[in-house]
Amino acid sequence: MMAFAFLPLLFFILPACQDDSADTGVVEKLIGTWHQTARTVDGTAVTKDSTRLLIQVNENNICVLCDSTAAAVLTQKIVSRSGWSYSASLFNLAVDMPASWTVSFNGNDMFLQRNDFKSDGSVSKTRLTYKRVASIDF
């Protein structure tokens, strides 16, 4: 009888089974090279994020980011590499941690969105829009 007292506790300790096929489908779509076409903050169009004007997501969990800022061009560091993962429906770039992106697709377009807290405690929503382009060897 005592063993049954611990049975409800097991439901909280053991992780739920997950269907990884949905994650696999998103990862397959993520792999490739993407050119940023738009950026919005709180629904308003703003200047594109030049630190990730081009993003290449590789199968080996390495992501290549092309930076077109003046400082990057001056120091010849226009290409940087970062790790990436996709889990729990979030696209994680090591350079952005601890923030993560939600990702969605529409044909050859990819949309990354994340929420950030501002200093006044309100939430700011950033959305980056990308178009799939031919892959580049880095």
Confidence of residue 120 (pLDDT cuts 50, 70, 90): very high
Rounded CA-CA distance 91/85 in Å is 6
Residue 17 confidence (pLDDT) above 50: no
Burial class (CB in 10 A: 0-12, 13-18, 19+), 36: buried
Question: pTM for the whole thing?
Answer: 0.77
Rounded CA-CA distance 52/68 in Å is 8
pLDDT at 78: 87
User: What are the residues whose beta carbons fall under 8 Å from the beta carbon of 124, sequence distance 6 or more?
Assistant: 41, 42, 115, 116, 117, 118
- Cα angle value 52/96/130 (rounded, 5°): 35
Cα-only R_g, the chain: 19
Residue 9 confidence (pLDDT) above 80: no
Please report, for the chain, the start and end positions of each structural domain, with discontinuous segments joined by +. Answer: 21-133
Q: Which CATH superfamily is domain 21-133 in?
A: Calycin beta-barrel core domain (2.40.128.20)
What are 34-85's pLDDT values in tens digits? 999 999 999 999 999 988 999 999 999 999 999 888 888 888 888 889 999 9
Nearest one of 103, 113, 62, 102 to 84, comparing CA atoms: 62
What are 94-114's pLDDT values in tens digits? 998 888 999 999 999 999 999
